A and B are shown apart, each in its own frame.
Chain A
Amino acid sequence: MEKFPLKQTKGPPVSPSYQAVNKKYTNGHPLENSQSSSRTRGFTDDEMIDINTNSGDHRHTRLEDEDGISHYSVSYGGTSDTGADIPGIGQYDDFHTIDWQRDIARDRMRHRHIVKKKQDSFWNLIEGAHDAWSGWLCVLLVGLCTGTVAGVIDIGASWMTDLKFGICPQAFWLNREQCCWSNETSFETGNCSQWLTWPEVLGQAKSGAGPYIISYLIFALWALLFAALSASLVRMFAPYACGSGIPEIKTILSGFIIRGYLGKWTLLIKCVGLILSVSSGLSLGKEGPMVHIACAIGNILSYLFPKYGRNEAKKREILSASAAAGVSVAFGAPIGGVLFSLEEVSYYFPLKTLWRSFFCALIAAFILRSINPFGNEHSVLFYVEYNKPWMFIELVPFILLGIIGGVIATIFIKANLYWCRFRKYSKLGQYPVTEVLVVTALTALIAFPNPYTRMNTSQLIYLLFSQCGIANSDPICDYNRNFTDVKSAIDLAAAGPGVYNAIWLLIVALVLKMIMTVFTFGIKVPCGLFIPSLCLGAIVGRIMGIFMEQLAYNYPKNWFFSGECSSGDDCITPGLYAMVGAAAVLGGVTRMTVSLVVIMFELTGGVRYIVPLMAAAMASKWVGDALGRQGIYDAHIALNGYPFLDSKDEFQHTSLAADVMQPKRNETLSVITQDSMTVDDVEGLLKDTEHNGYPVVVSKDSQYLVGFVLRKDLNLAIANAKRMVDGICGQSLVLFTSGNPPQTLGPPPLKLKKILDMAPITITDQTPMETVVDMFRKLGLRQTLVTHNGRLLGVITKKDVLRHIKQMDNEDPNSILFN
């Protein structure tokens, strides 16, 4: 791939044709321009007329444009041109907000250039074609890589999880299930000659007190080893790999730059660390980090395509598609992934991105499915297939589950946030690796005695979701069934003692998992939240399902079941309740609705349960919203103070732009004049102030706005000019006009019109903040200029808006992370 698409073009090295329109105009009226610049001293009526003619001429050039080139070509002409001239222009510093408008305009320019070039030669035609399909190609590659990486993680994690229990000596790479795959003859889990538990490896008996203690110890030791490795790898190589990553991805997609967050090392360490931390038995999942991994893959691959790699706004289209692929492989739910990207993480989601996300999710799911990591023909461990009807009256327990789910989720969010805040501000935060080790040790010690916490969380979810058939021999399926009826293999039956025993264990597991997850989410290893919350909900749901089932068994004639259970059929499916409960808790934690329901029904392979899932998700969201305002991801964004302007919240205060804008009263606005400052002046200004951009005005007295120039561009352009152009020194005038300087003596002027944004978004000082906030959200602005009577008055940046919102909500406005 070429790095500079605009540089490689054949033909004369003059500026591209859309630029030529601008140039033609400037060449055509040099006199007028020099006049205008010579007359800018002082504030006269002439000047106003002059400005008017200037803008009039701009309009004129637009009319001259016959092939429908829009107005941006004039105002942004320079930006894309200099992108190739001065390295680094159009890129952003760490922790800065991107300017969507500017980047999209830049891309439009580039696209127009390619379209125009197409006719020139065959090579250019190919280049054009490559440009056109590069978006699809990029998401194809992202899908391929995401699917493969997900397969590797799935296989690695399932193998390493079972390593805590034993080993398959003849083929050490197989986990317990795969080891016993072809020689299974009995239901007893230990009854497989190929698989050796650790006591057996050490020459002990299979069961008894001694072996139990040995396996307990070895279990805890492996867990500690994995967690320690994970935490220290993260700390050593890529600290950004810790956590779930979804709050950060949301922030990045809303237009924030975190350098290195989606880099190669983060990707590698997140994958490896995820395998290790999942297998350490901590109460965490791999689904959330999978979104981060997919986005990192998308970011890395987008550098193969300069169209995306060099344009932050365009890159976010690829990242949205990658996020969809991440969820697609995490749950084997391609459509759910697309909707997740749309509903939860993406900020700017045009239809084009929707289709690309769809394609990307499809490819990723296909690849993972063909890798077949679990040997069950599906891409998740807890895929279940259901085809049982449900009764209308069952909606009542489903909604009840939704309410319980909302309550559990709120308790979880509050507790977790309290703990995370405590970690942030107390001494605890100074011992990240120790904290991981302590949490792991406690988790391992507590989890081992209870079979439901000992097993892998995904397996537990699978167990809770699945129906009790003849294949299922867990105590949870200890019903007094004898399968005497051929027609309905599974009939309603009385629960045996095993079931009641299992319920108690499950309740203990619920409490333990809840507490453990509160302390786990936020430790410095890669950790996701989907699996633990699904698990909490599935436990609650399963218990409720068993309760309902026994109710139906004992009172089949009750009005509540409206006679549908009297035939002795299996009219209540506890597994379905588990599923609904899982959806409810997950919905309450993340506040997802549509994508959650789609993910859940893609997991079950049937559309029959959409209504129960919808009812539960809705009830849980209502309860959650009533008890606590934010979902866990928004709460973490607020905790970290990421500059995320939520498009879901409404701004309801009556402030005006003048109240928010910088500078406040008694301060002066730092501006650059278009043709009267020297390089020294500008450098002094850059040194004295820390603003990220400066408005350019006609003169300091008149404050008529010309445009806006970014600090970074200014720095780069001056440095570049000092290197490349002879005679530029401290006394050179900095010109943002296109004409010649008024005086011909002295050093040559520095012409910086190329980096000037001539079409900054402006508002008046009386604009209500509601409108301003809307503009920031919908247009993705980085800053807007405030004028009064046509003269520049101040600047509102995204940071000002966020601070203002925080202030209005009575929160600390200084908590926002920004540079």
Chain B
Amino acid sequence: MVKMKCILVSLVVFLSVSVVQAQFDDKRCKCICPSLSSVTNKTEKTHTERLMQTTNDPPNKCNCEVVMLPRVADKLNVSEMREFCPRCECKYENRKTTIIRYVVIIVIWIISILVVYMLFLILLDPLLNKRVKGNYQEHTNEEEDAQPGPMSHNMSARGNVLNRVSNQQDKWKRQVKEQRRNIYDRHTMLN
């Protein structure tokens, strides 16, 4: 069951990953400069705004001369250009969108599986348990670590596995119930 889930999850992850456009780059060069008015003393609107430019230049070309100057070249004269650039901040950054993509999708899947399982435990499990309880009771004693025999064949092995899974689940439920009693009812822990 768990394995099936795993396969399903990975399948869906792969499907959803393959639909991606390569629009979001993994590196950028970002330059921020003060407004042109700091060197030109003009007060037109184009001169009083701070400037920002992002390109995907390589790190060695990530500087104001390559990134910013072509954009403002028509508004500045040569001496102003020389003054303008030292005030800019250029930063080369990289990131990994692939990792982000995988991680977010996996997180969504885990949360949805947990929610589904929680709803199952809340809504369906009481119903199922009520029906099974009659012939199930005798199994719950100390056979938790009973190993399946070496000669058990398909059918019995499957039954054993199922039994063991449900035994484990019961054990786990008991533990959680105990934890819940400690915390929510008796308030002996984690207040």
Contact = CB atoms under 8 A, between A and B. Distances in A.
- A and B are interacting partners: yes
Interface of A: 151-152, 155-156, 159-160, 170-174, 178-179, 181-187, 229, 232-233, 235-240, 242-243, 248, 258-260, 265, 268-269, 272, 275-276, 371-372, 375-377, 420-421, 423-425, 429-430, 432, 469-471, 473, 482-484, 486, 489, 522, 524, 636, 639-641, 817
Given A429-B184, A640-B190, 9 more contacts: A170-B21, A173-B105, A229-B115, A239-B184, A260-B179, A275-B107, A421-B191, A423-B187, A470-B50
B87 A171 contact: no
Contact of A489 (B21, B53, B87, B118): B87
B103 interface: yes
B153 interface: no
Interface string B102-140: 011111001100110010011000000000000000000
Interface in B49-98: 50, 52-54, 56, 83, 86-89, 93-97
Contacts of B97: 171, 174, 178
Contacts of A240: 179, 183, 189-190
Given A156-B104, A248-B190, A817-B188, A182 B34 contact: no
Contacts of A235: 180, 184
A483 to B, nearest CB: 4
B20 interface: yes
B188 A470 contact: no
Nearest to A417: B191
B156 interface: no
Contact of A260 (B87, B99, B175, B191): B175
Interface residues of B, number: 56
A331 B176 CA distance: 32
Contacts of B38: 482-484
Contact of A372 (B37, B96, B105, B191): B96
Contacts of A371: 96, 99
Contacts of A160: 107
B30 A239 contact: no
B23 A239 contact: no
B21 to A, nearest CB: 7
A242 B182 CA distance: 12
Given A233-B118, A240-B179, A432-B184, A486 B86 contact: yes
Contacts of B33: 470
Contacts of B25: 181-182
Contacts, number: 168
A100 B53 CA distance: 62
B191 A640 contact: yes
Given A155-B100, A174-B24, A174-B97, A187 B184 contact: no
B111 A182 contact: no
8 contacts: A152-B107, A155-B107, A181-B24, A184-B54, A187-B52, A372-B95, A377-B93, A484-B38
B100 A636 contact: no
Contacts of A470: 32-34, 50, 87-89
Contacts of A471: 32, 89
A124 to B, nearest CB: 28
Contacts of B175: 259-260
A778 to B, nearest CB: 27
A640 B189 contact: yes
Contact of B103 (A151, A179, A423, A425): A151
A480 B56 CA distance: 33
A275 B111 CA distance: 10
A376 B23 contact: no
